[in-house]
Every structure is written in C-alpha cells, then in structure tokens.
C-alpha cells in the first residue's frame, strides 16, 4: 500500500467526516462550514500534488472518490434532519436523488465489470459538474445556517442551488444509464 502525501490527504478528508457531522449535530454550523472548506482544500491539494509530483496511485484512484462521496453523503444526510439546521435544511427528496445516483453509478460499473469485463468507467463531464454543484450547495446551506442576518439572500441562493442539484443529478444519472447501455451493446458486438 502506497501511503504518499496525496493518499494521506484523502485519508485526512475521511477523518474529517465524523468531526463535520458532530459539528452539525451540535448546532455549530460555522465550525462545520470551516471543516467542509478544509476538506475541500485537501481534495484540491491531493489531486494537484498527485499530478504535479507524479504520485498517482491505484490506491489513490479509490481513496479520493471514496473520501469525496463519504463527505458528500454525510453532508446531505445530516443536513436533511430538520432539528439540526435552524434556517434551512436540504429536502429529503434531494438527498434521496443524490444517494440514488451514486448507488446507480456503483451498481452500473460493477455490472459492466461483471458482464462485459469493462475495467474503466471514468466520470463524465456532466458528472463532475454535478458533483461540484452538490458540494457548492452544501456550502451554501451551511452558510445560510451560519449567517442568520444574511439568511434571506444566501438562503434564497442555497434553495435554488438545491433545485439545480436535483436537475443535474437526474441528468447525470440518465447519462450514466445511456452510457452503460452503449458500452453493453458494444461489448456484445451489437
């Protein structure tokens, strides 16, 4: 196992997840926002260092997205609980869409691997945009719950970002299904 600096940063991001969740459950949305921002910096740094220093590893290809999904899933789940965020919560239906899309991607990749021996199922551009908007939406929801005086403007933007998350999440999920169908047909020689 190659625990280079990028991989250690991914592990650090995973370690920040329970601290992030605890901060939200204690009503400390400002601290949760700071932890979320630190996690975002570690995400940017691990990718930059891995590419810049040529430290990309097989372990890193699993750790980095796992850390991202762990943080995002935890954020969406905990910010859906009404009593934890006084000003704005993420609607349950948005959280279900986000989690369902991730499950769909994992199941699709596993099925393609098992049925067609497809070993690479890289993310689509739409998927990367969707993830970026999902991250932004969590940050905005945390900010709206931190800045009570500025809630109206930030809250309105945060609410609209959640609708954008829903649209992009569905579009990305459909894109993966279409792509998987195409790969399956190609694998069967159709």
> How much is the pTM?
0.88
pLDDT at position 55: 83
What pLDDT, on the 0 to 100 scale, is given for residue 31? 96
pLDDT at 187: 65
pLDDT of 81 reads 93
pLDDT digits (tens, 9 = 90+) for 14-67: 999 999 999 999 999 999 999 999 999 998 888 888 888 888 888 888 888 899
Query: What's the CA gap between 2 and 79, in Å, rounded?
Result: 34
Helix (H) / strand (E) element for 91: namely none
Kindly state the DSSP code that residue 69 receives in the 8-state scheme: H
CA distance 35 to 50: 22
Nearest Cα to 136, choosing from 45, 9, 33, 52?
Answer: 33
The residues of the chain scoring below 50 in pLDDT are: 190
Domain ranges of the chain: 1-78, 86-190
Query: Of the candidates 167, 139, 133, 169, which has an alpha carbon nearest to the alpha carbon of residue 154?
Result: 139
Query: 153, exposed or middle or buried, with CB in 10 Å at 0-12, 13-18, 19+?
Result: exposed
Buried b (16+ CB within 10 A) or exposed e, 115-132: eeebeebeeeeebeebbe
Separation CA 167–CA 153 (nearest Å): 22
Give the chain's end-to-end CA distance (angstroms, integer). Answer: 40
The CA-based dihedral angle spanning residues 122, 70, 8, 108, taken in that order and rounded to the nearest 10 degrees: -20
What is the distance between the alpha carbons of residues 91 and 186, in angstroms, rounded to a whole number? Answer: 39
């Amino acid at each position: 196992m190659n625990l280079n600096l990028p991989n250690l940063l991914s592990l650090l991001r995973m370690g920040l997840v329970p601290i992030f969740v605890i901060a939200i459950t204690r009503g400390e949305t400002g601290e949760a926002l700071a932890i979320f921002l630190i996690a975002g910096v570690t995400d940017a740094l691990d990718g930059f260092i891995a590419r810049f220093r040529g430290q990309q590893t097989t372990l890193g290809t699993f750790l980095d997205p796992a850390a991202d999904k762990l943080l995002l899933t935890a954020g969406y789940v905990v910010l859906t609980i009404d009593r934890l965020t006084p000003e704005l919560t993420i609607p349950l239906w948005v959280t279900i869409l986000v989690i369902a899309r991730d499950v769909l991607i994992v199941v699709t990749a596993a099925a393609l691997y098992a049925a067609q021996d497809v070993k690479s199922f890289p993310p689509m551009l739409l998927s990367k945009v969707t993830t970026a908007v999902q991250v932004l939406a969590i940050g905005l929801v945390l900010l709206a719950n931190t800045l009570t005086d500025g809630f109206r403007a930030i809250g309105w933007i945060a609410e609209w970002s959640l609708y954008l998350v829903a649209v992009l999440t569905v579009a990305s999920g459909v894109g993966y299904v279409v792509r998987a169908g195409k790969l399956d047909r190609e694998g069967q020689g159709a």
